Structure 1
Amino acid sequence: MSDEKVAIITGASSGIGRATAVALSKAGWSLGLFARRADKLQETKDLCENPSKILLVPGDVSKEEDVQKVFRLTVAQFGRLDMLFNNAGTASAQVPIEETSLETFQRVLNANLVGVFLCTREAVRIFKSQSPQGGRIINNGSISAYTPRPHSSPYTCTKHAVLGMTKSTALDGRAFNITCTQIDIGNAQTSLMSPPNGLLQGDGRRISEPSFDPKYVGEAIAHIAGLPLDVTVLTFNIMATGMPLVGRG
């Protein structure tokens, strides 16, 4: 069994997941990378250092059998698990709730919350059973876990729920050397950011908001992941300095 640290990253095919894979591989971690798009996962692997320490597992985070597979294969390949980054997620168009279909709501719920539950469950099982016992979970929360954007009820509901999952995991894992963090990211340059006509504001305007390179999120996650397990960062905010959040009324 390798003494090197091992992590699973969901949603590793692009954006924050990809940036985190690059940062953790640079820090020497072995990685199980999980996402639906196999071709994009390969692109992430190509950007990482030491490809022999990268395992690609295509799958859907909301499907129980796919989630169980990535955990099973990662532990079989690398011997243990030290960290899970629950990053996979999706959003929906900014439309009023009365125009939001049940299908849309359930799609966001499955990706953003059911996936976090399934992955957290599998990680905790491994963390409790392995020796030495314990591990770290980092959940991709959002500014929307605290302050919603207009017409974003599916996304906002799931991110508020992820905050509850984060706190529950930190509490329930305490006796088993399991810790949990929520990283709340504001306006990283990903596919979920900056539609061509701008982002809808609470006062009805649409504006183009400042954003920042997701590599800084990856570096922040790599730092938290490298902390000893007797240190917990419960919540961590990282956002574009010019983001119109503080002072929003």
Structure 2
Amino acid sequence: MTKTILITGGGRGIGAACALLAAEQGYRVCINYRSDDAAASHVVRTIEDGGGEAFAIRADVAQEAEVERLFALLDARFGRLDALVNNAGVLAPQMRVEQMDAARIGRIMATNVVGSFLCAREAVRRMSTKQGGSGGAIVNLSSRAAVLGSPGEYVDYAASKAAVDALTIGLSKEVAGEGIRVNGVRPGLIHTQMHADGGEPGRVERLQSSVPMGRGGAPDEVARAVLWLLSDAASYTTGSFIEVSGGR
């Protein structure tokens, strides 16, 4: 039976790269996105033009009701879920912690942490052999920021990704006996639009000299790590992380 994958934040950047690679590997792909209809539609068309099957669902993963609607629509279309990539994430303009207000911090945590928990919850309800599922795999997109802290820029984002790491470890142990593997990928400086969201489109270029490999990474380099963790080749890997950061 053809496997089905859900990728949150799948309309651009790392999420889009994961969607395209998953389709190449034979998955039926559900792309979740929050606001950019054109970008999500482009990814779907690209997959379909290549002979694959995909559709997109607009939903804000920070909202519980929208997550429940997202998974209900996935059920109606594909009838099963084999893999989840918790990729949806946001950040805010660079600033020090002393400048941050509660509203900003709350927005970051709602999408990056609450959204990841809610999507993982719904995936487990469908995948767990204890609940009648056939098993599956989850990959949570973390960040090297979770380890480095992003001082002077995005400490709130870094903290949210550290929480995603804790989710990855704890959930992996909860469901290891139920046919579900849960792993994480920590990208480093990757060429995506997210840096522009933080107010510095050229951030990778500014910081790439601090990377031992001397360059920023590409979204498809992250996607290959994600898809490996989802694959049968990683059948004995859970609660683990792959650093895709050029050594930084």
RMSD of aligned C-alpha atoms?
Answer: 2.1
Q: Which residue of 2 aligns with 1:29?
A: 27
Moved more, 218-227 or 126-135: 126-135
Residue deviations 1:53-99 (CA, integer Å, cap 9, x gap): 21211111101121112211212222211010000001122211111
Q: Find the counterpart in structure 1 of residue 126 from structure 2.
A: 126
CA distance in 1, matches of 2:202, 2:29: 37
Q: Of 12, 15, 36, which residue of structure 2 is paired with 1:14? A: 12
Match of 1:146 in 2: 147
| 1:219 paired residue number | 224
For residues 12-66 of structure 1, the C-alpha deviation after alignment (integer angstroms, 9 at most, x for no partner) is 1100000000000001100111011222210111222456621211111101121
Q: Is the 8 A contact 1:45 1:51 kept in 2?
A: no
Q: Does 1:84 align with 2:84?
A: yes
Report if the CA contact (8 A) 2:126-2:133 is conserved.
Answer: no
SS across alignment from 1:48: helix
Unaligned runs of 5+ in 2: 209-214
- Relative to the length of structure 2, the TM-score reads 0.87
- Alpha-carbon distance between aligned partners in 2 of 1:51 and 1:187, rounded to the nearest angstrom: 32
Matched residues in 2 for 1:222 and 1:153: separation? 28
Q: 1:219 offset after TM fit, Å? A: 2.1
CA contact (8 A) 1:11 1:17 kept: yes
Residues 92 and 177 (structure 1 numbering): CA distance in 2 closer, same or farther, change over 3 Å?
A: same
* Alpha-carbon spacing, 1:196–1:172, altered in 2? closer, same or farther (3 Å): closer
Aligned residue number for residue 64 of structure 1: 64
User: What secondary structure is seen at the aligned counterpart in 1 of 2:232?
Assistant: coil
For 1:203, the equivalent position in structure 2 comes to: none
| Range 148-157 or range 125-134, more displaced | 125-134
Q: Structure 1 residues 10-19 or 88-97, which shifts more?
A: 88-97
Residue correspondence of structure 1 range 228-247 to structure 2 within 5 A: 230-233=235-238, 234-240=240-246, 245=248
Change (3 A) 1:88 1:197: closer
Give TM-score scaled by structure 1 length. 0.87
Identity of aligned residues (%): 27
Which residue is 1:47 aligned to? 46
* Cα 1:196–1:137 shift into 2, 3 Å: closer
Secondary structure of the equivalent of 1:231? Answer: coil
Alignment of 1:163-242 (within 5 A): 163-193=165-195, 195-196=200-201, 198=203, 207-209=206-208, 210-227=215-232, 230-233=235-238, 234-240=240-246
Offset at 1:103? 0.9
3-state SS of the aligned residue for 2:128? Answer: helix
Structure holding more helix per residue: 2
Partner of 1:146, secondary structure, is helix
Unaligned ranges ≥5, structure 1:
200-205
Output the CA distance in 2 between the equivalents of 1:135 and 1:117.
Answer: 16
CA–CA distance in 2 between the matches of 1:238 and 1:221? 10
